[in-house]
Amino acid sequence: MSSSSAADFSVLAPYGWDETWAKEFAPYAAYGLLAGRVVRVDRGQCDIVTAGGTLRADTAFVTPHDPLRVVCTGDWVAVEPGGNPRYVRAYLPRRTAFVRSTSSKRSEGQILAANVDHAIVAVSLAVELDLGRIERFLALAWESGAQPVVVLTKADLVPDPVTLAHLVQDVETTAPGVPVLTVSAMDGDGLDVLVCLVGSGTSVLLGQSGAGKSTLANALVGEDVMDVRAARDVDGKGRHTTTTRNLLALPGGGVLIDTPGLRGVGLFDAETGVGQVFSEIEQLAADCRFSDCGHESEPGCAVLRAVDTGELPVRRLESYRKLMRENQWIVAKTDARLRSEIKKDWKKRGAEGKAAMEAKRGRWH
């Protein structure tokens, strides 16, 4: 290994640089470009940590018209060693990417963070739990390729251990296969477990405004690096204290990306993620009479049978249906053939449901 390569490793290793990234970057190194990780993006400019220090560069050179191919926080990039302005020339292939649907009518995806190992969904215990929103975050997290973790923040506001245990159980039921932690950044309870979890790889903090993400980030970093503002008592929401996605190296190892509070959590081609969130429904569906069962009114539906017996909560099935329909519609907006098939399927299911109801009325009379 050359002295310059050794310098790259010593400086960039705390940010996640490894042998695999070095191999990916080798062709760019041959052209004299610098390796670095994007720690912040702001209006077409980004801050990049390199072996020689943090640089400011323009991102316009990297396919700016495709929202999923723009440079984002967490990317490993090849940047020019000099120039005014200095340009990012390319980003290395992403291992994972956290993408949501934008609010635009064009149904575009927006990439929030790249190369993330853990997706930490912060949920405030200062307000009533919104299980449906947690499911949305988890669907996007699973789809990204990262391992989700739910962190219930402000646990000090729930002093009764029995009540806290019930809240944790509700979330665990909503998040099969996902660790659920309770944390109080104010008094430090639960932080040691979270520090161990994020101590390797890259973690991204997600959640609504007022969820306590910035306070949590400060606690993990060990200093006040993020601005913190009080949340409203009425609904637990606050103003966006974080306005950009910032990548921070943690003192105990690992990297943290803090994100602005997300008001909208739209799915973007996340069918696999939705299936992972509702894994118990997917398992039940394997026993349905029909392989294309929609779990609406079909005979021999194992999912509906589980609802009837109380094995599956009605809320879970309704949430599953809602997210699957939403995801189908988002995908269909960019696929005319699929859109036509979905409309035909909806009409078919509607007719089947109507026929089933008429058959029941006939039996009743």
Q: Give per-residue pLDDT as tens, 175-193.
A: 999 999 999 988 888 899 9
Four-residue CA torsion sign, 6, 12, 13, 18: negative
> Among candidates 16, 35, 87, which has minimal Cα distance to 56?
87
DSSP string, 72-117: -TT-EEEE-SS-SS-BEEEEPPPS-EEEEE-SSTT--EEEEEES-S
Residue 114 pLDDT greater than 90, yes or no: yes
Dump strand ranges (E) for 271-354: none
* Residue 137 and residue 206 in contact, taking contact as beta carbons nearer than 8 Å: yes
pLDDT average, residue stretch 251-267? 76
What's the pLDDT band for 27 if we cut at 50, 70, 90? very high
Query: What residue has token string 């079909």?
Result: 298
pLDDT, residue 6, reads: 62
pLDDT, residue 258, reads: 87
> Among candidates 328, 272, 320, which has minimal Cα distance to 296?
320
pLDDT average, residue stretch 164-179? 94
Residues 140, 133: Cα–Cα separation, whole Å: 11
Q: CA angle 256-78-112, nearest 5°?
A: 35
More confident residue, 329 or 36: 36
* Residue 127 and residue 85 in contact, taking contact as beta carbons nearer than 8 Å: no
* Residue 203 and residue 250 in contact, taking contact as beta carbons nearer than 8 Å: no
pLDDT tens digits, 124-155: 999 999 999 999 889 888 988 899 999 999 99
Residues 26, 264: Cα–Cα separation, whole Å: 39
pLDDT, residue 362, reads: 55
DSSP string, 218-269: HHHHTS--S---PPPTTTS----S--S-EEEE-TTS-EEEE----S--B-SS
Determine what percent of the chain is predicted with pLDDT higher than 90. 46
pLDDT, residue 285, reads: 92
pLDDT tens digits, 198-246: 888 999 998 887 778 888 888 888 765 544 444 444 344 444 444 467 8
Q: How far is CA 217 from CA 73, 138, 203, 204, 308, in A?
A: 16, 20, 11, 10, 44
* Residue 267 and residue 165 in contact, taking contact as beta carbons nearer than 8 Å: no
Return all residues near 185 (Cβ < 8 A) that are at least 6 apart: 153, 154, 191, 212, 215, 216, 218, 219
Q: CA angle 55-261-230, nearest 5°?
A: 105
pLDDT, residue 200, reads: 86
pLDDT tens digits, 278-305: 999 999 999 999 888 888 888 899 999 9
Return all residues near 341 (Cβ < 8 A) that are at least 6 apart: none
pLDDT, residue 63, reads: 65
Determine what percent of the chain is predicted with pLDDT higher than 70. 76
Residue 81 pLDDT greater than 70, yes or no: yes
Burial track 321-354 (b if 16+ CB lie within 10 A, e otherwise): eebbebbbebbbeeeeeeeeebeeeeeeeeeeee
Residue 39 pLDDT greater than 90, yes or no: yes
pLDDT, residue 275, reads: 86
